[in-house]
Amino acid sequence: MYPPVAPAQPHTRSIHGDVTEDPWFWLNEKDTPAVIEHIEAENVYTENVLKPTVALQETIFTEIKDRTQETDLTVPAQRGGFWYTTRTEEGKAYAIRVRMAGGPHGAPQLVLDENVEAEGEAYFRLGNLSVSEDHRFVAYSTDTTGDESYTTRIREIDSQQDLPDILEECRYGLAWSNDGSYLFYTIADEALRPFQIWRHEIGTDQARDVIVHQEDDDRFYLGLGKTRSGSYIVISAGSAVTESTWVIPSDDPTSEPREVLPRVGGVEYAIDHRGDVFWIVSNDEGTDGRLVTVPVEGGSPTEVVGHESGRKLIAPMCFADHVLVWGRADGLPAIFEVRGSVLVPIEFDEPIYEVTPDANYEFSTSSVRYAYESFVTPRSVYDHDLTTGERTLLKQTPVLGDFDAALYVQERLWAPSRDGVQIPVSYVRHVDTPVDGTAPLLLYAYGAYETSMPVRFSIARLSLLERGVAYAIAHVRGGGEMGKAWYEDGKLAKKMNTFFDFVDVASFLGETGHCAPDRIAARGASAGGLTMGAALNLAPRSFAAMVAEVPFVDVTNTMLDAELPLTVVEWEEWGNPELAEEYAWIRAYAPYENVEDVAYPPLLVTAGLNDPRVSYWEPAKWVQRLRERSTSGAEVLLKTEMSAGHFARSGRYDLWRDEAIVLAFVLTRLGAV
């Protein structure tokens, strides 16, 4: 029996002639004792239902732990006269930041030990970490509730003493002036939208800080950083479809910000700096971007490389003598070298992979450092010489035990969606797992914000693959895998494409023998949780089980409440339901409102009580409605973290245990234990 719940309370919404009843609306009253009692009872119930899997959970946790080299060190990266690195130690949940003077093999000096900062806290997250240009101070921001409101402190590295300076209610992004006398930071408004950039003078009280820039358009978030040259502090403002940027000379930190290019609706651009020009990737003349330069003193763009449809350019990366552009091509991440007016891609061997910038602190260098990995290749850090083309492997993350990459098979598949579009699918299995329509499979998706789902190596995933469960990512529309058009074809009025794609990928995998059609589990988080909920309503019989983590499932009500975090900003992603046409888009797929009286599979749903991105009550309400209407009798479980937010628990051991819970749920419901 499900836990007892307080009686439903009538709540009627009427808009655009559509009248809906929401009996679980009262669950949004976080400070009401009945709500907390309800959530705690749900946690007890979920724990009891999952008790038969406890032994399997412990086995999986042990497998993850035993395959992980707990005491480890990232590749030291030079920045001036120091080499910075991050260390982990067996038995400690958080990272330790250290540096070596004079070379990578010198005696380590402590910069910041996250384990010390996390002592006594149920939750801990480091949001920002920034060392001053003179290497004297480290500014660091911490969150101990999960609400993503950070307290920033400034520590003298040599003495390991914090200055009296304390900056409250900060968001993401820090930037130092070059002389180390000023620190720039971001503040959010009541809706948790970063809307102000402030300048703090080291050694003074926050009350004396100065507002440098304020964004009054509710659709825009502010960001903060520096060019790789170190010459400019960069303030960026971005909505879902438009970006603009201001710069402040790092040697003249009290000067006024200067806009690089005028803001134009629908135009996005990203900048870096070298010499007397800003290098800019902009989509002003094509959705997938072109590369231009603009004089640092201002002026019109000069094209370096023109737009090419399907070759997505994301951001420039400047070195003293070289310029790179990060992007995507053929559905895969790409690094392009700028050679005159031509972009030359760096080539990789595997059919699917992920490549990301690593620590590239030095501006005057001929090498770029990047991290490469795939479903079968652990994270590998390379230095790539841009003059000779030589690639040097610096470190591959060790996988302890008997791991052998040759025992796994990865593929890029293409699944036809119902409108004929080919959906890229990244797929991996153990070499002994048959492709004869009998294997179980876990299918993952996201599908929003032009975010491309990375093909990363996972030690935890080995616990699935070793038990004969295949794994796949459906790179559905709404993400950015295939360029800007791919994103635009899965948002606003076209959002249903995201959900159709996911259902059609599941069907394809079953029809082609990559898995058994009746042994597919689905998993997604946040906006990917929306994909889960909408796909579940479209095709409940397509999934043998589902995991929806912090799922965005009450889309209509959230998008109608402009006082909630993210809502106004998100209108350009989902639509504004105050407008009748856009209300119809959302109403057609909103998971909470489209639950029907059908047989739903077993579900494990998670939430964070302090989540500022997806309010805990969205999954809580959805779970109640699913239970009311499901005709299958299969369990619908809700697991809420009471001291965390959107990113679940924080320490690595807690995260491993949480992953073990999810994998044990999936394995048992797929009959793969």
- What is the number of alpha carbons within 13 Å of residue 25 lying toward its C-beta? 14
Specify burial of residue 184 (Cβ count, 10 A radius: 0-12, 13-18, 19+): buried
C-alpha distance from residue 268 to each of 137, 280, 436 (Å): 34, 10, 46
Spatial distance between the Cα atoms of 503 and 509, rounded to a whole number of angstroms: 10
Among the listed residues 437, 455, 448, 447, the one whose alpha carbon sits nearest the alpha carbon of residue 508: 437
Element (H, E) at 61: helix 54-67
Q: 232 CB contacts (<8 Å, ≥6 apart)?
A: 226, 247, 248, 249, 250, 273
Diameter of the chain by CA atoms? 71
Confirm if 295 and 277 have CB atoms less than 8 A apart: yes
Complete DSSP assignment for 393-457: EEEE--B-SS--GGGEEEEEEEEE-TTSPEEEEEEEEETTS--SS---EEEE----TTPPPP---
Q: Bridge partners of 412? A: 426
Parallel, antiparallel or unpaired: strands 77-79 and 82-88? antiparallel
- Catalytic residue positions? 526, 611, 646
Confirm if 654 and 619 have CB atoms less than 8 A apart: no
Parallel, antiparallel or unpaired: strands 210-214 and 221-226? unpaired
Evaluated on CA atoms 288, 453, 605, 614, the torsion sign reads negative
Amino acid at 331: G
Amino acid at 616: Y
- B/e letters for 619-636, b = 16+ CB within 10 Å, e = fewer, are bbbbbbbbbeebeeeebb
Amino acid at 529: G
Rg (the chain; Cα; Å): 25
Specify burial of residue 265 (Cβ count, 10 A radius: 0-12, 13-18, 19+): exposed
Amino acid at 262: P
* Phi, psi for residue 558 in degrees, rounded to 5: -65, -45
Element (H, E) at 122: none
